[in-house]
Amino acid sequence: MFDVVTGGAGFIGSHLVDALVAQGNEVLVIDNLSVNGTETIDRHIKSGKVRLRKVDLLTEGWQDSLTGARRVYHLAADPDVRQSAVTPDPTIQNNILATYRVLEAMRTHSVREIVFTSTSTIYGEATVIPTPEDYTPLEPISVYGASKLACEALISAYCHSFDMRSWVFRFANIIGERSGHGVITDFIQKLKNNPAKLEILGDGRQTKSYLEVHACVEAMLYAVGHAKDPVNTFNIGSEDWIDVKTIADIVAVEMHLEKVRQRFTGGTRGWVGDVPKMQLGVEKIKALGWKPRIGSQESVRIATRAMLGSR
Ligand code: NAD
């Protein structure tokens, strides 16, 4: 038996692959390598623990490779919230359509378990913070959030219609080594280009919860091992939050820059579809037996150091 990880060459996917290999599992990665090359998983491919199928989920021909798999960890997606407000189509294709195709391939090849990476953005601008899993109404304000909510609905329907089981994880901001997008990547890049000045999108007071990627993967695997309903939905994040200005200060300190002039573009959000305040309630996964051992500030510091070391 082997596990399938779609998007396994990506940021979170490659850390998940590390953890599955460490558990002794064989893994098939399905990825079109649109973000990274194979460098994130090369050592596992060389050791024979991981096979790579370089293919786009929107094409035909890969579906047979699911035969005999124990479970699909479906992480492949277009994760760009900001871009989804500019050109929605790639988000719809790579998120909703690709997820439908994965579910269909699973149904026709008798793979019954799916793990799905959803997002805090399905809650939109929640009025209850920390936001629990049973919060309503679910009114995403980004096409990305809407696409993930649509995927959750499809997964639920497939589980109930075709005797499947799912674990759906609604992530806060996940950060760490190999991350190629998000606020820390943006700040590091800008400060490398100009160490004296940093443009910060919005007023710097957008306040959100961040979790380092190793803790995220640990939480996912814990829940998969312990929750056994047909549809198991959990928030994953830290138990506090941090504002964007403080993240900028931490990144500058970690880059040993003392006199960075911060310039704010203004407004309460960084871009169309940005949720200014986000913290997820994690009581449900805590009741299951997993709790985050680090907070947002420490996560940002660890991730910044790792990202500075790795790129
Ligand atoms: P990433 O961009 O690093 O990884 C996505 C991977 O999917 C890439 O390797 C890409 O090549 C692959 N991919 C995309 N479209 C594909 C397609 N059509 N066919 C085959 N492969 C395809 O992103 P990430 O940050 O690692 O995110 C992983 C998952 O977690 C995504 O589903 C994302 O929506 C979700 N998520 C991430 C965060 C976060 O903070 N990083 C937060 C919430 C949810």
Please report the atom of ligand 1 found closest to the CA of residue 9. 9
Same domain, 269 and 144: no
Rounded Cα distance between 163 and 286, Å, is 27
DSSP H or E stretch at residue 274: none
Cα of 172 from ligand 1 centre, angstroms: 14
Q: Outline where 136-182 has alpha helix (H).
A: 143-162
**Of 4, 48, 13, which Cα lies nearest the Cα of 33?**
13
Both tokens of 157, joined, read 């329907």
Count of structural domains within the chain: 2
The model's pLDDT over 13-33, given as tens digits with 9 standing for 90+, comes to 999 999 999 999 999 999 999
Q: In the chain, which residues have pLDDT < 50?
A: 311
How many A from CA of 261 to the centre of ligand 1?
Answer: 33
Query: Is 197 a member of any domain?
Result: yes
Residue with tokens 């809407």: 146
Which domain, by its residues, includes 266? 176-209+240-273+293-309
Paired residues of 212 in beta bridges: 175
pLDDT at 125: 97
Are both 24 and 138 inside the same structural domain? Answer: yes
Write the DSSP symbol of residue 270. Answer: S
Task: Answer with the one of 191, 220, 236 that is the final residue of a domain.
Answer: 236
Do 72 and 127 have their domain in common? Answer: yes
Residues 45 and 78 in one domain: yes
141 shares its domain with 81: yes
Is position 278 within any domain? Answer: no
Residue 151 sits at the vertex; the CA angle it makes with 96 and 6, to the nearest 5 degrees, is 75
Note the pLDDT of residue 311: 44
**Are residue 54 and residue 44 in the same domain, yes or no?**
yes
Is residue 14 within 8 A of residue 76, CB to CB? The reply is: no
Residue 48 to residue 121: CA distance in whole angstroms? 37
Q: What was the pLDDT predicted at 167?
A: 99
Q: Do 227 and 82 reside in the same domain of the chain?
A: yes
Residue bearing the CA closest to ligand 1, atom 9:
10
- Residue 310, pLDDT score: 56
The residue to mutate among 174, 216, 234, having the most atoms of ligand 1 within 8 angstroms of its beta carbon, is 174
301 and 226 within one domain: no
Return the CATH number at 191: 3.90.25.10
How many helices (H) and strands (E) in the chain? 11, 14
Helix, strand, or coil (residue 18): helix
Residue 166 lies in a domain: yes
DSSP output for 188-216: HHHHHH-TTEEEESTTS--EE-EEEHHHH
Cα gap 87→35, rounded to integer Å: 18
Q: Are residues 141 and 248 in the same domain?
A: no
Residue 249 included in any domain: yes
Query: Among 75, 211, 212, 217, which is best to mutate for testing ligand 1, by the most ligand atoms less than 8 A from CB?
Result: 75
**Strand order through the sheet with 277-278:** 242-243, 207-208, 277-278
Cβ within 8 Å of residue 48, ≥6 positions away: none
Both 217 and 231 in one domain: the answer is yes
Ligand 1: atom nearest CA of 33 is: 11
281 domain residue, yes or no: no
We report the CATH number of the domain holding residue 115 as: 3.40.50.720
